Amino acid sequence: MRLHVHEIRLTDHDVWRSAREAIPVQPGVLVELTEGRRSGFGEASAFMTDRYNSSLDALHASLRSVAGTLRELPADDPEGTWSVLSPLLAGAPFALAALDVAAHDLSARLAGVPLWRRLGADGPGELRSSYSIGLDEPDVMVRKLLERPGWPAYKVKLAAPGDLHILRALREHTDAPFFVDGNCGWEPAATAAVLGAMADLGVTLLEQPFPRESWAAAKALKEVSPIPVYADESITGPHDLDACAEAFHGVNLKLMKAGGITPALRMLRAARAAGLGTMLGCMPESSAGVSATTHLGPFVDHLDADSVALLAVDTGTGVLLDDAGGITLPEVPGTGFVPDYRGPAFTVRPAAAGRTGSDGDELSLHRDGTALASVRLRDRPAPGRAPQSTVRQLDVRTAPSAAPATAEELAALVRGAVTRAVADGADTVWLRSGHDGVREACRAAGFHVLPGSAGTDGGSCHDSTLPDGHGPSSPMVWKANETA
């Protein structure tokens, strides 16, 4: 299988807020695995980056580290692929999940069946999602509910357990159950004091009120709560199931945290065997990730798959979510996700989707759909070096623009180009450019001036080289073994 990585930036209609954070813009990557003319897609968000090793740099590094392994793995055995990749990406669950989802999607597309069928479900069934109302001023939260009437349940973010006035305000406009999410921010005593009032207000599920490490408090809450309490942050893998069975009534799994579809299905079966309720939720993600999650809907009690309804900018189309939370899975092979590479969600994407030039792949950098720069990967030896099949030259070209690319944007283009080169079998990447911003982005990515290259020709720019060999034409080089 061949790996392609595209960078994305998602925005919601409203800034997403919880007790833990506010998210105005969510960056991430769309992972594509190809076999012949077929592609499968997965997604990883640069979210809670310290906990999940999921910064953009870390995601690219993780994906590069297994690109060579992927080229040797079959496209019809995603479970086997996961078993190979899992120990290699033990500290990078989001990258592992994106690859596993893409592998499952690709396998189902090659088999010509919807993903749910390949996973062994009898049928998609009647699937409905709860609708999430992010933390905000009470009148804004009421407005969000009024904009989405008729959903089967509303998942309400609360900063503190005593914020019952918000639930009362919402209750004036709906008879639907409330799922309340504390996002690890509540105190045990204050929580216990309002359980009865919450139940009276129609709260039928309470999610992760305490921090992950508060196992004793969670166990004590389970013993007295009239409302089922579900784990979220406390369930990150199979190793947490025994503790969750003691401390919670159910678990909310998310494919990114679990490490993909393969482990998530195993965890769901184990949770059922332990008597736990089950829910599937989403991280901040687009139709690529949500479409995969919903295909696991037949295996769970609750679906919280509404993130596509919150998006103002999406990566493409896939699962259909109607105005009342009803979910329709496309009657096509795989997850049904179709990327829109020309949409504003993509910051680094193929210059022409599906086209490989006669002289290497080309990626383009965009801001809200407007091209800012491009890079072509050429099969060229570094100046003064013998030709090698594992060496690629980056030929970067900027587009005339009233608002030139920022340092962050150029870093994304360089990052994507290096990953593209490594996925194609390169272990060395070099560049010569007189553009200061591009060179600075290369330095940040681990490039250094090629030794002994001062005054050497061979790049796309021909500015004079400074005596120390660090001028605007001095070739710069990146090596995989120096950045691993």
Query: pLDDT tens across 159-198, in order?
Result: 999 999 999 999 999 999 999 999 899 999 999 999 999 9
Give me the long-range contacts of 336-340 (CB less than 8 A, separation at least 24). Answer: 336/114, 336/291, 337/41, 337/105, 337/287, 337/288, 337/291, 337/292, 339/6, 339/30, 339/32, 339/41, 339/288, 339/315, 340/314, 340/315, 340/316
Q: Which residue reads 């990078």 in tokens?
A: 92
* Angle at CA of residue 117, ends 310 and 85, nearest 5°: 75
| Residue 358 pLDDT class (50, 70, 90 cuts) | very low
* Torsion region of 332: left, alpha or beta (phi above 0 gives left; psi -120 to 50 gives alpha): beta
In this predicted structure, what is the pLDDT of residue 385? 84
List pLDDT tens digits, range 232-287.
999 988 889 999 999 999 999 999 999 999 999 999 999 999 999 999 999 899 99
Q: Which residue reads 């992950």 in tokens?
A: 212
pLDDT at 90 over 50: yes
DSSP code of 176?
A: S
| Residue 9 pLDDT class (50, 70, 90 cuts) | very high
Contact 135, 159 (CB under 8 A): yes
In this predicted structure, what is the pLDDT of residue 237? 85
pLDDT at 461 over 80: no
pLDDT at 204 over 80: yes
Contact 431, 460 (CB under 8 A): no
CA separation for the pair 107, 267 (Å, rounded): 21
Q: Where are the domains of the chain?
A: 127-339, 352-484
List pLDDT tens digits, range 101-128.
999 999 999 999 999 999 999 888 899 9
* Torsion region of 112: left, alpha or beta (phi above 0 gives left; psi -120 to 50 gives alpha): left
In this predicted structure, what is the pLDDT of residue 458? 39
In this predicted structure, what is the pLDDT of residue 347? 94
Strands 362-367 and 370-378: antiparallel
Q: What is the DSSP string of 108-160?
A: HHHHTSBHHHHTT-S---SEEB-EEE-S--HHHHHHHHHHSTT-S-EEEE-SS
CATH of 127-339, one of 3.20.20.120, 3.30.365.10, 2.40.160.20, 3.40.30.10: 3.20.20.120
In this predicted structure, what is the pLDDT of residue 263? 96
List pLDDT tens digits, range 409-432.
999 999 999 999 999 999 999 997
Tokens representing residue 459 in the block: 């790049």
Does the domain at 352-484 match CATH 3.40.630.30? Answer given as yes
pLDDT at 353 over 60: no
List pLDDT tens digits, range 51-61.
899 999 999 99
Average the pLDDT over 335-364 and give the result.
81
| Residue 404 pLDDT class (50, 70, 90 cuts) | confident
Radius of gyration of the chain (CA): 24
In this predicted structure, what is the pLDDT of residue 290? 96
> What global pTM score does this model have?
0.91
**207: helix, coil or strand?**
strand
In this predicted structure, what is the pLDDT of residue 383? 83
In this predicted structure, what is the pLDDT of residue 159? 93
Interaxial angle between packed helices 407-423 and 436-444, expressed in degrees from 0 to 180 and rounded to the nearest 10 = 60
